[in-house]
Amino acid sequence: MKSTEERIKFLENCANLYETNGTSPISDAEYDVEYEECRKIDPSNSFFSSVGGIDEEHIYGTKIKHEVICGSLLKDPSPEEFFKSFTSIYAGIDLSQYCFGLQHKVDGSAICCVYDNGNLTNVTTRGRDGWYGMDVTPNGKHIKDIPKTIPYKGKVEIRGECYKDRADFYKNWAGEYANPRNFTAGSINQKDPLETKKRGLSFVGYEVVRKDFDTEKEKLQFIIDNGFENLESSTRFTKTGLSIKQLTKAIQIYMKDIGRSTLPYDIDGIVVKLNKIPIAKSLGTVAGGKKPKSSRAVKFPPEQKITELIGIEENVGRTGAIALVGLLKPVNLGGAIIQRVSLHNYKFIKDKGLTIGCTVLLQKSGDIIPYIVRKIKDGKTTIEPPTECPACGGELEWDKNNVTVHCLNDACVAKINRSLEHWFKKIGTLGIGKGIIKKLTDEEILEWDNKPIINCISDMYWKLDNDRETEHPFRKYAHLKENFGEKTYENILKSVKNISEMTLAKFIEALGISQIGSMASELTVVAPTLEDINDLTVDDIVKIDGFALKKASGFVKGWKVSQPEINKLLEFITIIEPKTSSNKLDGQKYCFTGSFSDPSRKEMEKMTEDNGGKKSSVSKNLTALVWDESISGNKVDKAKELGIPIITQKEFLEKLK
């Protein structure tokens, strides 16, 4: 039997996983039940006063304190629970003169936009505690529905929800991200603001602070008048004089006819607000001022259906990890026909007791991702873990907890295919899709000398090219042209040759070693040449911000193992220095901390590189820390401790004149 402390720790872990990558070991419904049970046992635990948001370690930026606390709402799992809560809160209050507003509870990422004299000055996240958010101003300026200027000339803050249009997400991004909410969080959390811009985020405003209003209606009109996307069309105000019982019925009716599938954003409930703001404030708050008593969120009950698990699909990824997908007897859930569901790993299958043919209770986690809640009736066929790779028959290796399993065969066709797809996507090559790659790597489709023509990334550069002397007979190319068609074959060659130069950071990122992604640019700060990369040790890498021991060890090992492939690629790929416009900052390293505009922090980092310098973390080799004087933080403290010069944005820009 777990203690209450252990149960709350588990809930905290579930919340962090869901916020950062969209996964959770339990369903939303199970989470809500456990949350309420634990809250009743230990209501003073700090976990129940947190407001959500993304952990700071997942955000690139500077911590900023909100002038007005950015809280969240008390939540009720049903209209019935809402009735109980409101009856208690409004006991003794005559509601005959008041009305309530009912709004969509948009399921995205809460952000705050500060305007001074009509100009956007700061965009920050809410943060876990409601007091300190992270500065994402450069990224926020690329969110299309956040205006850079507004008509109001005082100082004001518009709060709302950043979200990704549902239709565009499921058309273009669903294969890479769990759901629109986590796509949004990841898009705000990009190091490069231009990457955020590519993601096409939207924003809807629903709150105003640093300015007083008498009613929620007036506040909503202010949001509209200043050009923000808003919830005017979805907000319904109840008739004045409704009793709490009548209000509860109005909420039930509203929740049933919202038409969630037609909305551009996801919602996970509705928000109930007392229209008269002074009365609402007089009722006070809970959780240290973070949650008002007068307003509550009423959550939708998750829709659940019973269906049958009729099969299992094992997919091998680029790193060799086997991902499991359950094949379901088709069922209509939330307006969509569901036929597939993630089974995560073999521990999940074992814990749930799943078998082929078993009957399962299915629901949509967060209204989006299908999730098996539990097994209802057993099937006849046991699901056995594999003894060999399902793609190539190669040897497998389990992790130390026997949860995930990897194929160890470097020649596994599935791993090769995923690596090729990753390489060409990251270097920006168009015209080489999954179909072409599969044809080139599958010996049953297109083989040469009883082997597939392509076995690794470098093969694409030398085995396909007939415009040179080669040990391969010319008839191989005739064979390729015959199978692809001459025009398609020539287009493949053209695409492969299209990009022959790239920076070291791009080269490392495209190789995909240890899944370091865009953090490759951090590696090249401390190791700017191939020779430097070769000499890197695990101890060197873990000193870099963002690199844990596992990722650092994986990179050092992977880089050494990949040397033959790397050397072959370097016969066709030229590593170039990032383009520079001058050498004014040659050999210098700068770190930027704070909220900057005109130019932004990201723009100054690019200016540093364009002028021969490097962006870096705070270390003894740093030339200077460029500081926004409106903030404080660990970087400033560390720079002072190391005796590193701390300069202003103006002083930095003077160096480039």
489-509 pLDDT, tens digit each: 888 888 888 898 998 988 998
Identify the pLDDT of residue 182: 77
Residue 71 neighbours by CB distance under 10 Å:
24
pLDDT tens, 556-609?
998 998 999 999 999 999 999 877 678 888 888 888 887 676 777 777 887 887
Q: How far apart are CA 97 and CA 99, in angstroms?
A: 7
Q: Token digits for 530?
A: 């191939």
Q: What share of the chain is helix, strand, coil (3-state, %, to 5)?
A: 35, 25, 40
Least reliable range by pLDDT among 46-50, 437-441, 550-554, 560-564 = 46-50
Q: Which residue has the tokens 């950071």?
A: 505
Residue 404 CA, chain-centre distance (Å), reads: 22
Is residue 508 classed as helix, strand or coil in its secondary structure? helix
Inter-CA distances, 302 with 268, 299, 375, 475, Å? 9, 9, 17, 61
Dist. CA 347–CA 400, nearest whole Å: 13
pLDDT at 21: 45
Asked if residue 59 has pLDDT above 50, the reply is: no
Is the pLDDT at 17 greater than 70, yes or no? Answer: no
Domains of the chain: 1-49 (1.10.287), 62-299 (3.30.470.30), 304-381 (2.40.50.140), 413-499 (no CATH), 502-576 (1.10.150.20), 589-654 (3.40.50.10190)
Mean pLDDT, to the nearest integer, of 546-551? 79
Q: Strands 396-398 and 355-356: what pairing?
A: unpaired
H helix count then E strand count, the chain: 25, 30
Sign of CA dihedral 172, 178, 183, 189: negative
Question: Which residues are CB-contacts of 370 (< 8 A; sequence separation ≥ 6)?
Answer: 328, 333, 338, 340, 341, 342, 362, 363, 364
d(CA 3, CA 6): 5
Lowest-confidence segment of 312-316, 383-387, 636-640 by average pLDDT: 636-640
φ, ψ of residue 384 in degrees (nearest 5):
-95, 135
CB 227 within 8 A of CB 145: no
CB 386 within 8 A of CB 356: no
Flag whether pLDDT at 616 surpasses 90.
no
Q: Are 245 and 109 in contact (CB under 8 A)?
A: no
Q: How far is CA 289 from CA 84, 278, 417, in A?
A: 22, 16, 53
Q: Rounded to a whole number, what is the largest CA-CA distance in the chain?
A: 93
- pLDDT confidence bin for 20, thresholds 50/70/90: very low
Output the pTM of the full model: 0.48
Mean pLDDT over 321-343 rounds to: 85
Task: Label residue 28 by pLDDT band (50, 70, 90).
Answer: low
Helix axes 413-427, 434-441, angle to 10 degrees: 140
